[in-house]
């Protein structure tokens, strides 16, 4: 028998019993899918082959850790999530999951993922996973997100860890190549999220989150997006420059980055009142870009 609970908090909606789907939603599946994909790429690109079982276990632990971070993030941000149209249908604002249940769920999954990765694979990868969870929760969510317009620049490092952790799962060490993989995601994050913020600025303003368009305006945000896009296009060539990839990756990355810069420049030159029309296109392409750039790195590794 299901028991229905009703919340009277003005920031929450009428609720019913929690479901498995609600707890899965707490893991931020879309964000987690990116962590899964880039961690897989990190394992594949590593010079030491990992046994298929430990390959699966490594990716599983990294995925669970990323999802656990998302759950704790939703617990902490439940107040502002209820104010924004983009997030008000998440399980906690809807009252589908109680805040403490979400917190406990995230903490338990974090502990399980770290311990399992350490015992089954290696302690170096487990320590790096623990640090990435700590960074996302305490550095980004608690400290930066509500305090500075550069929140996504520094906090973006949290999303750049999965390929490095995947690499360390195979090698138990860090070298220049995984650092370059980290940098690609790190420099990709600002134009990706600022493009979203450009056409969601009203929501962020309503929730009092100091995203760059809210604090500095659209003109400054468009300029920063273009600058980071150019920097990204340079960083993305480094795997070839340092002989970690071949001609196939060089050509495909040049094409991907040229179009990324084109969209960013087009957004930069657009009038402020038309930015919301161009920003979604860049945001959507940026997601495709990251999947493709890592895919081409993996394909290139088999061609060398």
| Full pLDDT tens readout for the chain, 304 residues | 333 433 434 444 444 577 899 999 999 998 889 999 999 999 999 999 999 999 999 999 999 999 999 999 999 999 999 988 888 899 999 999 999 999 999 999 999 999 999 999 999 999 999 999 999 999 999 999 999 988 988 888 989 999 999 999 999 999 999 999 999 999 999 999 999 999 887 888 888 889 999 899 999 999 999 999 999 999 999 999 999 999 999 999 999 999 999 999 999 999 988 888 889 999 999 999 999 999 999 999 999 7
The answer to whether 173 and 109 are in contact (CB under 8 A) is no
What is the distance, to the nearest Å, from the Cα of residue 207 to the centroid of all Cα atoms in its chain?
21
Length of the chain measured in residues: 304
Q: State how far the alpha carbon of 192 is from the alpha carbons of 88, 156, 187, 195, 219, in Å.
A: 21, 10, 9, 5, 16
Q: Give the pTM.
A: 0.91
Distances (CA, A) of 222 to 14, 226, 255, 278, 283: 39, 6, 22, 11, 13
Helices 29-45, 176-199: axis angle to 10 degrees equals 160
| Residue 82, CB-side half-sphere exposure with 13 Å CA sphere | 16
Q: Which two tokens stand for residue 178?
A: 């995984």
* Residues 211, 207: Cα–Cα separation, whole Å: 10
């Amino acid at each position: 028998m299901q028991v229905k609970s009703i919340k009277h908090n003005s920031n929450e909606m009428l609720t019913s019993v929690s479901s498995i789907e609600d707890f899965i939603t707490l893991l931020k599946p879309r964000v987690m899918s990116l962590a899964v994909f880039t961690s897989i790429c990190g394992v594949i690109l590593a010079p030491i082959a990992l046994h298929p079982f430990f390959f699966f276990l490594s990716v599983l632990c990294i995925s669970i850790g990323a999802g656990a971070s998302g759950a704790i993030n939703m617990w902490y941000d439940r107040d502002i999530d209820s104010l924004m149209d983009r997030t008000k249908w998440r399980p906690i604002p809807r009252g589908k999951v109680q805040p403490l249940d979400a917190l406990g769920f995230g903490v338990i999954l974090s502990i399980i993922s770290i311990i399992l990765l350490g015992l089954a694979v290696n302690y170096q990868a487990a320590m790096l996973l623990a640090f990435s969870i700590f960074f996302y929760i305490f550095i980004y969510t608690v400290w930066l997100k509500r305090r500075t317009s550069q929140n996504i620049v520094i906090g973006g490092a949290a999303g750049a860890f999965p390929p490095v952790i995947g690499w360390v799962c195979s090698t138990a060490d860090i070298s220049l190549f995984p650092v370059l993989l980290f940098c690609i995601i790190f420099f990709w994050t600002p134009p990706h999220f600022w493009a979203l913020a450009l056409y969601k600025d009203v929501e962020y303003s309503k929730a009092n989150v100091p995203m760059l368009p809210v604090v500095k305006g659209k003109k400054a945000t468009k300029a920063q997006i273009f600058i980071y896009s150019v920097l990204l296009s340079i960083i993305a060539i480094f795997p070839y420059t340092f002989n970690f990839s071949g001609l196939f990756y060089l050509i495909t990355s040049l094409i991907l980055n040229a179009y990324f810069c084109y969209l960013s420049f087009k957004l930069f030159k657009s009038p402020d009142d038309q930015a919301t029309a161009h920003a979604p296109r860049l945001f959507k392409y940026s997601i495709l870009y990251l999947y493709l750039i890592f895919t081409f790195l993996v394909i290139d590794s088999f061609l060398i």
